[in-house]
Structure 1
Amino acid sequence: MKRDIHLVILLLTIIGISLASLTIWRVEASRDRALQEADTHGLNLAQALTTYSEGIVRQSSLLLLGLVERLETEGSEPLQIQRLAALIDRQQPLMPQLSGITIYDRQGHWLLSSNRPIPSGANSSDRAYFIHHRDNPSRETFIGSPIRSRSNQEWVITISRRFNDSHGAFAGVVAVTLGVENFLKLFGKIDLGRDGAIGLSASDGALLVRYPFREEDMGRNFSQSPLYMQYLVDQSVGTASFTSSLDGVDRLYAFRKSDEQPLITTVALGKQEALAGWRMESTLSFVVVGSLMAITATICWLLIQHINRRIKIEAELRITQQQLMASNRQLELLAMKDALTGLANRRCFDETLSMEARRAQRDGFSLALLMIDIDHFKLFNDSLGHIAGDDCLRTVSRVLEECVRRPPDLVARYGGEEIAIIMPNTDYPGAMVIAELILDRLLQENIPHPKCPLGRVTVSIGIAIAERESLSESHQLVEVADAALYTAKAGGRNQYR
């Protein structure tokens, strides 16, 4: 019946582990799919925004290139500046993202401003983009960090080029300003959730635009951020997941470097929001599986209770039988033990010797038999009395048991003061080691024997070894060991033969 309970418990355990494992696997797989879908969505948005940003910068660069060619060909005299202003007025509506176009001479003085009258004494020689072109002969377009426009105080991004005079020397700068607000309006139309964010940065890590807008972020450089250092250095496109250094929100990032412009577009989705649907699905799965497991456990519990009642009834019926069997086993043990010494008795000896002889013959092992007799034991009894003789027998028996440690070995009282030791799978050297150990231990025990020449109790030992081919009848081994014992006694006792 207990086996039935174990099977029920095993069945319940297997069902529970299977359901739990399957549910956890499905939940983890669902989570991976949700994160993968969020990454794909972010990469698609990053691609679209990169294309948009590239288009604006490309248009601005083409406009700058045309203006620089005219300035370098026709000069920057007031009349030419007026013609350029008219040209800009016609082109500017084609680029609504433009905040304005400004031309500066080599000292940084304003020559033209498309969106407002030139303030008296206006000079921008301290601007980073002007200093870059003045000190750098490169004719490439330069994308500057966000700055506040001195004309209307709005945040703008500058895209600029230098122009040279007829001798190739620096003659001034043409700058296009793009309003950050225009980018934010577009970014704000994209639903990224409560914790989503969009970023546009220069390739050197300078932040150009970030949505949601925070003024304290303008001008920050992210070249030391985890996203930049771990991913953007070696990859042009990819995804990542970590906590934002700006606001501490855990986000899923998708980034893409522009192939044409020194721009990096980053789209970030709040990780908790991206996993909201997955959490609801997972909760529902766990509730369903938990309910199934609870129902299964209840059924199993009722079944176990029924089995336990049957076990209790059968246990009560077996109590008497078990008590009787225990009594019988106790009687069997007593029948195999010597009452005085606690060693195995003669009956146990005979059965064990016969069994070990058959086993040794079958398996091809040797079998050793030691017959041990206490020297001058009758004189010991006559001089010290039978009570002392019994104590002596018990002490010698204890010493012999301590010398024989292997489980298959048997120490038995053969009769009177004679004790036998059966040692399966033991050859002559092994038996001799035990015999010497017995003699040495009795010497250490130093049991007084006033009638013994040595003044202490000693034993004589006869050793018989039977190999497979010499094993026929077990009583022959006893006879050989007895003969060896007689030889040891005749040789002066306290020895083995």
Structure 2
Amino acid sequence: MASLASTRFASRDSTGRMRMLVLVAAIILVTGGLLSGVYRFAQNLKTEYRGTSEAGAFIAATLDHELDLRRQYLETLADEASELLSGRYTLNLDITRYLQPGPEKQGYQLARLPGFGPADQGLLTGSGAIPQTGSPEAHEMSMAMGLTPMFRALKRRDVHLPWVYYRSENDFVYVYPPPETPDGEARFYHVQDLAARTYAHAGPAANPTRTTVWSAVYDDAVGKGKIVTVSKPLYDHGRFMGVLNVDLALQTLVNTLKVRHIRHATESLVGKESGINLLQPDSAVLPASILAAPRGQPVGSGDTRYLVYPLKSANWSLVLEVDHRAMLWQAFRATLLLVGAIIASLACVVLLLLLVRAMRDMQEMSIRDGLTGLFNRRHFDEIAQREVAHSQRNGQWLGMAILDIDHFKKYNDFYGHQGGDDALQQVAGALRNAVRRATDGVFRVGGEEFAVLVQLNDPQHLASLMAQICEAVRVLVIPHEKSSWGKVTISLGATLIGPDNPLPLDTAYREADEALYEAKTAGRNRYMLSPAAARYAPALEPGEGTQHE
């Protein structure tokens, strides 16, 4: 059964439901937006590191290619040297005839061979006495000289090769191209000049497996800057002969590291075992736990992450030192579009909430009396029409009362309009307190005129309820000098709509208004019931304000 409250608040309920829907949508949007933002941020961070990892893998592959190219040079040189040492073909020239002693240098040096141009011959220097013609040492020198065409081809092919040379166990060195001193003279190499850098670490004691090895970074003796050397030991029938070497300028490695720009990362080459940075030997040693990390996977904590790529062609690892804070910021910037969309959506939701609230306020203002806060005449007409129709459909008893304040014009004239407004507000409050059930409603339908609608389970209760309303105003004891009662009172007329009295709205209103007129005629400060309502009223003791027809 529909109640008076449900019809009274029908318009408000629609606004409330809309506000609830908007609120639920806002909660879903905020929650979904936050979860989406966090997920997108994590994905963007993974994407940033994935891009960095791929760039690092590309640089490592390029670096491996460059280093492997030098290793292949050495393998080819070693194969050619073995052919020369085996005697399959030899240099048809007695080199010992062109070796010139240098007593002050405690050794010898190869002069310019006949028919050889500046680019056809390297520098050969040795320690001790000049080898004899046909000796093993002379044969080894012929082998070294026989490698000159390949040395020259490597130099032409790779302009970044400072030197290609052979260091013999028999205390001589053959270097191509021939280095010169600042005064233009050919430089004389002592054995010890190259032993520490390239010979010792590739010889039998340090390299028993006879593999290709790379040196640490060192300063070139002739001013070529920082270089590294890849060395290959040479054996003849199991006897150690010497070491073939190819130098590589450090700047070449640096340029290789810069082949692809990686944002927020610093590239370095680190020894796999030592943890020493080849490019910056004085920097802190990298812990073994970082060097042992999975290839290309970020490791570390704090503001720094490391990505490690072990190289195949050398005992080094490419290490990317990544600024983790910058990566976080980059991932956040990539998420800003989604964040902006979420903020814009929230702004729309807030505006929608404000609009719903404004609509609710406007609806409330359209059905409320601004002075008393009661429902107004417009809302009374709407609600009364619905309630009368509901009563006729469902056989529900409905009471309707019309009342006004006695001698209100005199009150206004004596106490002023402000006093009249105060009295109206107090009377409205008393009516609201007297009719406080959810199925009842109080309306201000005119200046000092009010209306009451009540749903009744028993029609006999109408009279007692009207008596309570009159008494609720009396107990306010609002002074009224121009009233015979000395205080503000009301006159009230009521009628009854129900199964035995199915009145239309205009008829019911007229009956209640006629009952009000009779209450005023009878002396005011009382209620009167219409004939239809009086049939159900219980017998009451005569007294002030309790009369009824």
1 CA distance for matches of 2:70 and 2:276?
A: 17
- Map 1:186-225 → 2, pairs under 5 A: 186-193=256-263, 195-205=264-274, 210=279, 214=280, 216=282, 222=286, 224-225=287-288
Paired residue for 1:336?
none
**Residues 263 and 16 (structure 1), Cα distance of their counterparts in 2 relative to 1, 3 Å cut:** closer
**Residues 153 and 32 (structure 1), Cα distance of their counterparts in 2 relative to 1, 3 Å cut:** closer
Amino acid at match of 2:309: F
Paired residue for 1:300?
353
Amino acid at match of 2:342: V
Confirm or deny that 1:255 pairs with 2:309: yes
2 CA distance for matches of 1:58 and 1:201?
A: 22
Confirm or deny that 1:21 pairs with 2:79: no
Amino acid at match of 1:293: L
- 1:291-318 Cα deviation digits (max 9, x unpaired): 3212321321342355468779699559
Confirm or deny that 1:239 pairs with 2:297: yes
Confirm or deny that 1:59 pairs with 2:73: yes
Equivalent position to 1:112, from 163, 171, 174: 174
Per the TM alignment, residue 228 of structure 1 is displaced from its structure 2 partner at its CA by 0.3
Paired residue for 1:127?
196
Paired residue for 1:138?
209
Does the aligned pair in 1 maintain the 2:275–2:285 contact within 8 Å? yes
Amino acid at match of 2:192: N
2 CA distance for matches of 1:192 and 1:7?
A: 49
- 1:315-374 Cα deviation digits (max 9, x unpaired): 9559657744899xxxxxxxxxxxxxxxxxxxxxxxxxxxxxxxxxxxxxxxxxxxxxxx
- Map 1:299-318 → 2, pairs under 5 A: 299-304=352-357, 306-307=359-360, 317=374
Does the aligned pair in 1 maintain the 2:148–2:176 contact within 8 Å? yes
Matched residue SS, 1:57: helix
Matched residue SS, 2:221: coil
Paired residue for 2:50?
36
Matched residue SS, 1:230: coil
Paired residue for 1:163?
234
Matched residue SS, 1:96: coil
Does the aligned pair in 2 maintain the 1:142–1:159 contact within 8 Å? yes
**Residues 58 and 221 (structure 1), Cα distance of their counterparts in 2 relative to 1, 3 Å cut:** farther
- 1:189-218 Cα deviation digits (max 9, x unpaired): 43334x4333445543566755xxx5745x
- 1:138-173 Cα deviation digits (max 9, x unpaired): 32222222222223252111111233466x444432
Does the aligned pair in 2 maintain the 1:145–1:206 contact within 8 Å? no
Per the TM alignment, residue 32 of structure 1 is displaced from its structure 2 partner at its CA by 3.1
2 CA distance for matches of 1:70 and 1:207?
A: 39
Does the aligned pair in 2 maintain the 1:160–1:176 contact within 8 Å? yes
2 CA distance for matches of 1:249 and 1:99?
A: 39
**Residues 47 and 189 (structure 1), Cα distance of their counterparts in 2 relative to 1, 3 Å cut:** closer
TM-score by length of 2: 0.46
Paired residue for 1:395?
none
Confirm or deny that 1:46 pairs with 2:46: no
- 1:228-257 Cα deviation digits (max 9, x unpaired): 0333xxxxx4332547xxxx9745636254
TM-score by length of 1: 0.50
1 CA distance for matches of 2:160 and 2:213?
A: 18
- 1:43-63 Cα deviation digits (max 9, x unpaired): 334333323332232223332
2 CA distance for matches of 1:226 and 1:127?
A: 31
Equivalent position to 1:229, from 268, 273, 292: 292
2 CA distance for matches of 1:67 and 1:267?
A: 39
2 CA distance for matches of 1:297 and 1:308?
A: 16
Per the TM alignment, residue 25 of structure 1 is displaced from its structure 2 partner at its CA by 3.3
Does the aligned pair in 1 maintain the 2:214–2:230 contact within 8 Å? yes
Structure (1 or 2) with the greater helix fraction: 1
Does the aligned pair in 2 maintain the 1:39–1:254 contact within 8 Å? no
Amino acid at match of 1:174: L
Per the TM alignment, residue 179 of structure 1 is displaced from its structure 2 partner at its CA by 1.4
Provide the alpha-carbon RMSD of the alignment: 4.1
1 CA distance for matches of 2:430 and 2:23?
A: 30
In the alignment of these two chains, the number of paired residues is 308
**Residues 17 and 56 (structure 1), Cα distance of their counterparts in 2 relative to 1, 3 Å cut:** same
Paired residue for 1:95?
158
Structure 2: segments with no counterpart, 5+ residues: 1-11, 91-135, 180-185, 375-427, 438-549
Amino acid at match of 1:301: L
Matched residue SS, 2:192: coil
2 CA distance for matches of 1:90 and 1:46?
A: 27
Per the TM alignment, residue 68 of structure 1 is displaced from its structure 2 partner at its CA by 5.5
2 CA distance for matches of 1:307 and 1:182?
A: 75
Matched residue SS, 1:135: coil
2 CA distance for matches of 1:320 and 1:65?
A: 117
2 CA distance for matches of 1:58 and 1:205?
A: 25
2 CA distance for matches of 1:128 and 1:225?
A: 25
Does the aligned pair in 2 maintain the 1:64–1:160 contact within 8 Å? no
Does the aligned pair in 2 maintain the 1:155–1:181 contact within 8 Å? yes
Structure 1: segments with no counterpart, 5+ residues: 232-236, 328-497
Does the aligned pair in 1 maintain the 2:173–2:189 contact within 8 Å? no
Per the TM alignment, residue 99 of structure 1 is displaced from its structure 2 partner at its CA by 1.7
Amino acid at match of 2:160: Q
Does the aligned pair in 1 maintain the 2:269–2:278 contact within 8 Å? yes
